[in-house]
Amino acid sequence: MIRQFELVERVHSYDPDADEDVLNRAYVYGLKKHGTQLRASGDPYFSHPVEVAGILAEMRLDTSSIVTGLLHDTLEDTDATRDELARLFGDEVAKLVDGVTKLSRLEVQSETTKEAENLRKLVLAMSTDIRVLLVKLADRLHNMRTLHHIKEPGRRKRIARETMDIYAPLASRIGMEKVKRELEELAFGELNPDGRGSVLARFGYLREKGERIVPEIEAELVKTLAEGGLVAQVSGREKTPYSIWRKMQQKNVSFEQLADIMAFRIIVADIAQCYQALGLLHGRYQVLPQRFKDYISVPKPNGYRSLHTGVIGPHGQRIEIQIRTGEMQEQAERGVAAHWIYKQGGPSTDAPQYAWLRSLIDILDKSSNAEDFLEHTKLEMFQDQVFCFTPKGKLISLPRGATPIDFAYAVHSQVGDTCVGARINGRMLPLRTQLANGDQIEIVTSKAQTPSPTWERFAVTGKAKAAIRRFIRVRQREQYLQLGRSLLEKTFHEEGYEVTEKGLDGVKANFKQASTDDLIATVGAGLVGSRDVLMAVYPGLKQQRKAAIGGSGAEVVPISRGRGKASKLRDGGANEHGQIPITGLIPGMAVHFARCCHPLPGDRIVGIITTGKGVTIHTIDCATLESFSDTPERWIDVGWEAVGDASAAYTGRLKITVANQPGSLSSLSTVIARHDGNISNLRIVNRSMDFFDMVIDVEVADVKHLADITAALRATPAINAVERARS
């Protein structure tokens, strides 16, 4: 804790006329009023106002501001009253302490009040006297420096968030860059320790690699300027983690792509020398386009003046350079406090240097601007993530628990598919290793590698999991293709035929397959019998076999009655009994049931004549019919025969959503079987955590049969939605 005489000495060092008596009285009064109160750190409470007064003295503020710092919490936390403060320390101090207290009360409400609104109230309070804001900033700065003593994480977060959203931007607006930077860094460390940690880890890594080049570049710049006859003070620094983080977020660039990891400040004697230095540097180094800004001829609204430029520096790095005079530097660091006038009556906001303050209030008073103002300073919260770097310094964010597999797929699918190992911070580690913040990861790949099903167990990102599954599916298809091919060859050979591409191509559509490979894979997966394919390619063979077996035994081909019918109908418009259950057809003309709408006996139907194909039967509400509206001559009136064939099966198509839970598929098939339906095809079209969307083909006698099944399915708890599919 700063002692009484130290504080007085500090103030006297820059303001010899300061009123020593009032400083001493305020110190003693505050000490007495706060008494035995303690801070969260266990320190006496009064250590806080004293530190705040110390910060204000560093800003070299007037005595009233220092006294206000010492007394700023007495109205809120002790039995002191405004009248008492006015009597003991004067109206000015009483008013200032009252203003700071009002700001503190705003804070308590800020959990429930909208931030932008808070900000406007805050600015209104501030505009009565700029010193209220300065004391408040010093108060906040000390509270942020000691934030780690507060035990409740929620409260720490709220204070940090408010600092980031309101106080750091305000400090910036009044030109106090130094205070702003410290507030931001402290808040960043609380709000996103992982993000900050990863930037610091990256700094550490670069330093370890021996890239201690800041002093070298400094010397080089001094030399370049000296050769041009300029004496300059050059200082370089790494930018703060938060400013780097924000640029990486905003510009979506990697660490090394940032021009301003390193910034160099050049201080010269006067304005003419600023431009001279600029000329020397631009003559020597390659200038980065669009980095040059002249804030000397056009100062920022907060009074900031400087030249900014970016060049490819002596060591080939992109560096940022600020060129200014000592006076401009003073202004840049201390902002409004740099203009303090130590005269009787204190500073006045009517002075010309406060013109910016009035325009600031104008800007902030308009709500949309206040929102914008908050918007770009908002910090994203990444609680559940880890941040890692590629060897080239690109930042990759992943969910917590992610492994090198996730990292590899995040870099590129190709990298993921071929990864065999990972070098984490230079060490080879297993692919299941969980990544930590700031890790630098190099993925080792091999062309011979393919994804393994076991990877899925330790991948956490959707991208990696999907890629692994996709690969496994492709491989499974290859196996199905092999199996299907050998099944078909065996079946065909038994009847003395060869499997030919042409033969399969001619019948693939019967089995609703887009290519012959699809057909073969479907056979391999057991969804279509190889015998059915044989029958489809050689329909004559089927007739012979039936004749050989004879009579009723051949009526039903159990595996695929529906498909049997499809080919049967192609044969010439007659079913096994020599009838088609449809009236109004032209005798001898081939008939198909449209696959878009799957007409069922009982549906209202129309026929469409297609050259070379015969008649296609659609339901009357089928969307496909629209494309035939210009050719009415192709439409024919058809209907179902009154007595349907009881043993005939037609394919009805249903779109069903079932819960993704054990037993739901079996209850689905049980319900359909119980109602004498037969599932001839099932396709899952969408699969999520909670639900499966699927398309099911059910063999039914007629539309009423399908309606019965639909109703029964809708009554089943595990089934969420059922509707008849129209395509």
Which amino acids are annotated catalytic?
76-77
Tell me if 194 contacts Mn ion by CB under 5 A: no
Find the shortest distance in angstroms from Cβ 108 to Mn ion. 13
Tell me if 162 contacts Mn ion by CB under 5 A: no
User: Which 43-62 residues touch Mn ion, going by CB under 5 A?
Assistant: none
- Site size toward Mn ion, by CB under 5 A: 2
Distance CA 532, CA 559 (A): 9
With CA atoms as reference, report the closest residue to 283 among 214, 227, 217, 213.
227
Find the shortest distance in angstroms from Cβ 143 to Mn ion. 6
Nearer to Mn ion, 139 or 697 (CB): 139
Find the shortest distance in angstroms from Cβ 72 to Mn ion. 6
Find the shortest distance in angstroms from Cβ 188 to Mn ion. 22
| Length of the chain, in residues | 727
What Rg, from alpha-carbon coordinates, does the chain have? 40
The full DSSP string for 411-445 is H-HHHHHTEEEEEETTEEE-TTPPP-TT-BEEEEE
Estimate the crossing angle of helix 115-128 against helix 355-365, to 10 degrees: 150
User: Which 692-711 residues touch Mn ion, going by CB under 5 A?
Assistant: none
Q: Choose one: 72-80, 200-208, 313-321, 381-389; the region binding Mn ion (CB under 5 A).
A: 72-80
With CA atoms as reference, report the closest residue to 33 among 51, 21, 45.
45
Q: Choose one: 69-77, 111-119, 438-446, 580-588; the region binding Mn ion (CB under 5 A).
A: 69-77
Nearer to Mn ion, 162 or 194 (CB): 162
Residue nearest to Mn ion (CB): 139
Nearer to Mn ion, 159 or 424 (CB): 159
Q: Choose one: 37-45, 137-145, 356-364, 446-454; the region binding Mn ion (CB under 5 A).
A: 137-145
Nearer to Mn ion, 139 or 218 (CB): 139
Kindly report the number of other CB atoms within 10 A of residue 391's CB atom: 10
Q: Choose one: 134-142, 217-225, 300-308, 714-722; the region binding Mn ion (CB under 5 A).
A: 134-142
Contact 478, 427 (CB under 8 A): no
User: At residue 610, what are phi and psi to the nearest 5 degrees?
Assistant: -120, 125
Nearer to Mn ion, 24 or 47 (CB): 47
Tell me if 139 contacts Mn ion by CB under 5 A: yes
**58 CB-near residues (< 8 Å, 6+ apart):** 10
Binding track over 649-668 against Mn ion, x by CB under 5 A: --------------------
Find the shortest distance in angstroms from Cβ 44 to Mn ion. 14
Tokens at 380, concatenated: 């994203």
Find the shortest distance in angstroms from Cβ 142 to Mn ion. 7
**659 CB-near residues (< 8 Å, 6+ apart):** 690, 691, 692, 718, 719, 720
Nearer to Mn ion, 7 or 535 (CB): 7
Which position has the token pair 């004697």? 269
Tokens at 173, concatenated: 């607006």
Nearer to Mn ion, 41 or 544 (CB): 41
User: Which 15-44 residues touch Mn ion, going by CB under 5 A?
Assistant: none
Find the shortest distance in angstroms from Cβ 231 to Mn ion. 44
* CA dist list (Å): 521 to 155, 328, 334: 61, 76, 75
Distance CA 131, CA 138 (A): 10
Q: Which amino acid belongs to residue 273?
A: Q
Tokens at 215, concatenated: 């002093």
**Binds Mn ion by CB under 5 A, chosen from 73, 162, 532, 697:** 73
User: Which residues sit at the interface with Mn ion, rule CB under 5 A?
Assistant: 73, 139
